[in-house]
Amino acid sequence: MNKSIFSESSLKSKYWNPYTETMPREEVNALHLKRIQKLIRYAYTHVPLYRNLYNRVGLKPEDVRTLEDFDRLVPTIDKKELLDAQSKNPPWGEAAALSEDALLYRYQTSGSTGVPLVIPISYYDSVRYGDQWAYGFWGVGLRPGHSFYFAFPWGTFIAFWSAYWGVRRIGGTVYSGGGASTEMRLKQILEYKPTVFLSTPTYALYVAEKAKEAGINLREIGIKVMYLSGEPGVSIPSTRQAIEEAWGTKAYEHYGIGEVGAICFTCPHQIGVHLAEDHAYSTIVDPESGRVVGEGEIGENIVTSYAQLYQPVIKYRTHDLVRPSYSVCECGRSWILFRGGVQGRTDHMIVVKGTNIYPTAVEALLGNIAGLSPHYEVHVSRGPLNDEVTVKVEAAPEIPPSAHRDLQKKTEETLYGRILVKIGVEICPSGALPRYELKAKRFFDHRPKS
C-alpha cells in the first residue's frame, strides 16, 4: 500500500488513534455510557436472546442511566447462552440481529473449551476487528510496507483472520503460510524475510525447535517483531524470554476472544495488554461474589463489545482472570492495562487443600527451573480427599535420561516451595509431548463430571 494515504504526522505518531488512546478517563467513561445505552436498546429491540433475558429480570433499556447501573443491573451471559440461542434456529437462531442477506463472513471460535461457537461477521465488523490489531501493530512501530508472515492454517478459526484485517488496515504486506508444513514455512521465511512473524506462542517455540534441527539460525533471518496470540504464553516472562532468545527479537502479545473481538493489544513496554476502549467495555469482577474489583486486584474479565453488531455480546463472561490498572500507562495510553496479560482462567482453577492453582502460575515456575523445556501439561484428577495434580514436562534436549530423576525431585521441591501443596511431576524425554499450530492444550481435567 502506498504510504501517501497516511499523513507524515500519522506515520510518525506512536498511536494508531491518538485522540481516543490518550483520552482522559472521565471522557472514556462518558463514551462507554453513550455506546452502552445505544447497544442495550439495539439488542433489546432486535435480538430475542437479550429481549427475553432482560424481560425475565424486569430490565428495560432506559433503566441504564449510568455505568454503575450497567454493572449492577444488567445480567451477564456465558458461552452456553449464545450456543443455546444459536441452536434454536441454526446457525444464528435467537443470537443474531441482522438478516442473512447482510452476512459476509462465517467463522467460529477455536473450540478449545468445548463446542465451537459460530461467529457471523459483517464487513463493518471486520474493519473494527482489524482496527483492534492495528493499535498494537502501530504501537510497536509497524508501518505500511512492513511484511507479515502468517504461520496459520486459514480455516474457520477467526483469530488470525482478524489479524489479517489488521495488516490490511495499516497497509502491510501479507505472506501466507496457510497449508504449509513447518519445514515449508521455514523455507518461506528464509526466502521472504518478513518483518513480522505471527503465530501462537507455543508454535513459535516449535518452529524454533525445528529450525535448530535443520541448522537454521533464526536470529540471522531479520525478523523484527514476534506478534503472538491465542494463549497467554508471552505474558509469562520465562516463556517470552525463550521465544526472544530463539528468534533474536522482541515478542509481543495480543489478547482476544473470537466471539467478542481482538480486544486487547500489546503495551509496547511489554508489561501487559491494553483494552481497546473505543471497541469494548470491561467490568472486572470477583468470580465468586460478582463484586467489581479495584486497581491491581485479580478478577474475571466481563466484556461488552461495540464491534460485534451482527451477534451482539453484552456483559459476556470470558472466564479470563486479569489484573486491571486504570492509571495512565508509561506508554502514554489512558486505556485500561491488564498488567501481565491473562493470569489464568476460572474454569481451569484447581483447589488443593484450600489453595487455588492455575496452569499459568505453574508455567511461570517451570520456566525458571534449569533443565526443563517450555513444553508441559497439567493433569488434574479426583483423589480420595482432594483434587490431585500432576505436571508432565519435557526435559531440555541436552539433559540425559540419567538426570531425569534429580530434575523431577528439583521440580517437585520448587513447586511445593512456592505453591505450598504437593504436585506430582513426570519428566518426559525431549519431543515426547504434542506440538500445536494453534492453541496448545495444556490443561487436562480427568475429574468426573458432576
Please confirm whether the linkage preceding 434 is cis (ω < 30° from 0): no
Same domain, 267 and 298: yes
Closest CA to 255 of 276, 282, 230: 230
Domain span at residue 429 reads 349-445
Which of the four pLDDT bands, split at 50, 70 and 90, describes residue 277? Answer: very high
Count Cα neighbours of 430 within 13 Å in the Cβ-side half-sphere.
15
Q: What is the pLDDT of residue 100?
A: 60
Residues 436 and 338 in one domain: no
The Cα 56–Cα 98 span in angstroms is: 23
Residues 180 and 133 in one domain: yes
Q: Are residues 256 and 386 in the same domain?
A: no
Query: Same structural domain for residues 292 and 415?
Result: no
- 157 vs 1, more confident: 157
Answer yes or no: do 330 and 402 share one domain: no
- In this structure, the answer to whether residues 67 and 155 fall within a common structural domain is yes
Q: Give, in degrees to the nearest 5, the angle at Cα 287 between 296 and 294.
A: 25
Percent of the chain with pLDDT over 70: 94
Residue 315 near residue 304 (C-beta atoms within 8 A): yes
Long-range contacts of 295-302 (CB under 8 A, 24+ apart): 295/324, 295/325, 295/326, 295/327, 296/323, 296/324, 296/325, 296/339, 297/323, 297/324, 298/322, 298/323, 298/343, 299/324, 300/346, 301/338, 302/76
List the one residue out of 265, 258, 326, 253 whose CA is nearest residue 292: 326
CATH of the domain at 310: 3.40.50.12780
Identify whether residues 118 and 71 lie together within a single domain.
Answer: yes
Q: Which of 95-99, 200-204, 301-305 has the highest mean pLDDT?
A: 301-305
Label residue 111 by pLDDT band (50, 70, 90): low
**Same domain assignment for residues 307 and 377:** no
Final residue in a domain of this structure, among 280, 315, 345: 345
- Asked whether the beta carbons of 315 and 283 are under 8 A apart, the reply is yes
Q: Looking at the domain assignment, is residue 83 inside a domain?
A: yes
Residue 113: pLDDT over 70: no
| Angle subtended at Cα 431 by Cα 210 and Cα 365, rounded to the nearest 5 degrees | 100
Among 345, 373, 405, identify where a domain stops: 345
Residue-wise pLDDT for 359-407, tens only, equals 777 887 898 899 999 899 999 888 777 778 899 999 999 999 999 999 9
Tens digit of each residue's pLDDT (9 = 90 or more) over 27-53? 999 999 999 999 999 999 999 999 999
Domain end (from 345, 377, 407): 345
For all residues of the chain together, what is the average pLDDT? 90
Q: Is residue 95 part of a domain?
A: yes
Which CATH number goes with the domain that contains 436? 3.30.300.30
10 and 79 in a single domain? The answer is yes
Give yes or no: residues 147 and 292 share one domain.
Answer: yes
Does residue 40 lie in a domain region?
A: yes
Same domain, 419 and 317: no
Q: What is the pTM of this model?
A: 0.84
More confident residue, 13 or 383: 13
Is 450 inside any structural domain? no
**What pLDDT shows up at residue 35?**
97
Residue type, 324: P
The string of pLDDT tens digits covering residues 197-235 is 999 999 999 999 999 999 999 999 999 999 999 888 898
Among candidate residues 54, 53, 41, 47, the one with its CA nearest the CA of residue 98: 47
Inter-residue contact 77 to 314 (CB < 8 Å): yes
* pLDDT tens readout for residues 131-182: 999 999 999 999 999 999 999 888 887 888 999 999 999 999 999 999 899 9
Q: How many domains does the chain have?
A: 2
pLDDT digits (tens, 9 = 90+) for 121-134: 888 889 999 999 99
